[in-house]
Each structure stands twice: as C-alpha cells, then as structure tokens.
Amino acid sequence: MKRKVNRNRLMDHIQGYSFVAAAVLILGIFTYISIFIAIYLSFNKVNLFKWTFDFVGLSNYARILKEDRILRAFTNTLQFVAVVAPIQTVIALVMASVLNSKIKGQKTFRFIYFLPTLTSSVALTMIFMFIFSINGPFNIFGQALGLIKETKNWLNEPSFALKIIMAMNIWSTVPFYMTIYLAALQDVPKSLYEAAEVDGANVFQRFMNVTVPHMKPITTFVFVTGIIGTFQMFDQAFIFSKGSGGPQNSTLTVALMVYQYAFSLLNDMGVAAAVAILLAIVIIIASLLANKANKSEKLYS
C-alpha cells in the first residue's frame, strides 16, 4: 500500500515538473541567461563585427555619467513616468467608477473607451502624428477657436514633442487599466454605497470614502505596472522620431538610447548593456517605492 502511495506521489511530482518545465526552459533561456549575458557585456568593450570582448571594468558605467545624451534620455524618461503613470491611474479609476454606476449605454461606452487598446502602437502613433502635423486637426481647430495664432508642425517643437507622446500613451493605456478597475469594482459590496448614501454622502464623497479605499490593492498593481511600462517606453518614441530621439533629443528615452548604442551607428553593445542594467535597477527601485507607499494590507488588517 505504501509503495502504491509513494508511486502515485512520484507520478504527481513528475507530472507537475513536466508542466512547468517548458516555462522554466523559456524563462531560463530568454530571461535569466540574457540577464547574465547583459551583465557580462556591461563590463566589456564589445565589437560584434569582430566578435571581440575587451574587459574595461566600470568604464561603461562611468560613461553614463559623462555623456549628455544619456543623461537627457534619463531626464526625459523620468519626466515621462512622473506625468503618465499617475494620470493614467487616476483617469482609469474615475472612468471605471462612472461606467460602473447606473448610467444609460454602459456597454456602448465600455466598447468605445476600450477601442484605443485594440489599436496597434504603430497606427496610433501615425494618427497622433497626423493630428499635430502642420495641416492636422490640432492646427485647424486651434485657429478656428482662436487658441493658435500661427500654424506649426508641432512634431518639430522640442518643448511640445514629448507631451504629444505622453498624451498618446495615456489615451491608449487608460482603457486597459479601466477594465481592470471595472472587474475589481464588481467585488465592492453595494451595501456600502447604500449606507453612505443614507448617511448623506454625495457622489464625490462615496467615491473617495468607499471606492478609493477598496481599490487600493488594484491601484498599487495598476500604478506599479504603469511605472514599469512607462520606463520601458520605446516603440512610440522610435516611430515618432524615426529612431533619432529628436527634435533636439526631446523624445529620446532610455530604451531608445539602448537601441541606438546597441544596433545603430554608435555600435557600442557594452554601453548599451550598462544603460539597460541601470534602467532595470531604476525600475526595481521605483516599483518597490511605489509598492511600499501603497501598502494594500492596511485596508484589511
């Protein structure tokens, strides 16, 4: 009997390990091994054409502090994160709360608001580039309303270019996070809203005192996910600036900088790896700080 039990346990273990083997193999090859390779490359001067690796110690990391373009890339990325991550979180929560209320046409509004998420990043970027081009709707309606005196190609304005990408990113990511909030709002007891309404709380007070506290764990998840996503922003900046980070490096992000050092004319894989490692460290620290600032356990403790 014991042998049969032990054999069944052994078979259970074999089946369990068989199911996770594929995931472990894929993660090992494409994630963990890649991390170790990136760390190794960051300490070397790499020439992929000659396939040479010359150890240079911390020289690649020292260059990060000296080169203005790298510092500009980090500044742009931090500015992008500081604006986009909080705004998209707040708007997503507000929209989810409105769509969760008893308004007419809920399903229609949910479908309309979710459409930007289904649009590809390339198509979305091209749409916004057209909107803010010299003959685009932004100039036409701006002049008609008297808000713009002179038409400009806003894509070439260094002080405005990054803001266009910010607006585009917020518009495309809010529906996804809104859906997460909508799913979570289904678990909030309606009796809490009814009790608050009986106590004389208005819509805003019910939102602040019932919805926001109960959404705190979800808000932490959404905010941390938003931070990670915005730090890694690449495709929109690449398409917008055709890979240059222009105008005047105003749309140059860290992820785009890594690409430029690794695969463009700069051809310095060592520095690219060092920048990527530093970016990963910044993301980890920012995520931990955001998670610590929004401890969800307090709500239920």
Q: Which residue from 244, 252, 247, 248 is spatially nearest to 275, judged by alpha carbons?
A: 252
Contacting residues for 108 by C-beta, under 8 A, at least 6 apart: none
Six-digit token string for 57:
């110690």
Q: pLDDT (tens digit, 9 = 90+) per residue, 120-137?
A: 778 888 888 889 888 888
Q: Which two tokens stand for residue 64?
A: 């990060």
Nearest to 294 by CA among 286, 15, 206: 286
| The Cα angle at residue 124 between residues 126 and 290, in degrees rounded to 5 | 130
The two tokens of residue 99 are: 């769509």
- Length of the chain counted residue by residue: 301
Query: What is the rounded distance in angstroms from the CA atom of residue 156 to the CA atom of residue 20?
Result: 50
Task: Decide if 72 contacts 154 (C-beta within 8 A).
Answer: no
230, 224, 222: which is closest to 92 by C-alpha? 222
**Three-state DSSP state, 46:** strand
Write the CB contacts of 100 (distance below 8 Å, at least 6 apart in sequence): 182, 185, 186
186-241 pLDDT, tens digit each: 888 888 888 888 888 888 888 888 888 888 888 988 999 999 999 999 988 998 88
* Residue listed under structure tokens 């005196």: 149
Alpha helices per DSSP H over the chain: 2-27, 33-42, 59-66, 68-100, 106-118, 121-131, 137-144, 158-185, 190-198, 203-206, 212-214, 216-231, 235-241, 254-263, 269-293, 297-300
CB 77 within 8 A of CB 162: no
Round to whole Å and give the CA distance between 196 and 93: 19
Q: What is the pTM of this model?
A: 0.84
Q: How crowded is residue 123: how many other Cβ atoms within 10 Å of its Cβ?
A: 10
Q: Which two tokens stand for residue 100?
A: 């969760």
Question: What string of pLDDT tens digits covers the 301 residues of the chain?
Answer: 556 557 777 777 788 788 888 888 888 888 888 889 989 999 998 877 777 788 888 888 988 888 888 889 999 999 999 999 999 999 999 988 888 877 777 777 777 777 777 777 788 888 888 898 888 888 888 888 888 877 888 888 888 899 999 999 999 899 889 989 988 988 888 888 888 888 888 888 888 888 888 888 889 889 999 999 999 999 889 988 888 888 888 999 999 999 988 887 667 888 889 999 999 999 999 888 877 776 644 444 3
Where b means 16+ CB within 10 Å and e means fewer, 26-65 reads eeeeeeeeeeeebeebbbbbbeeeeeebeebeeebbebbe
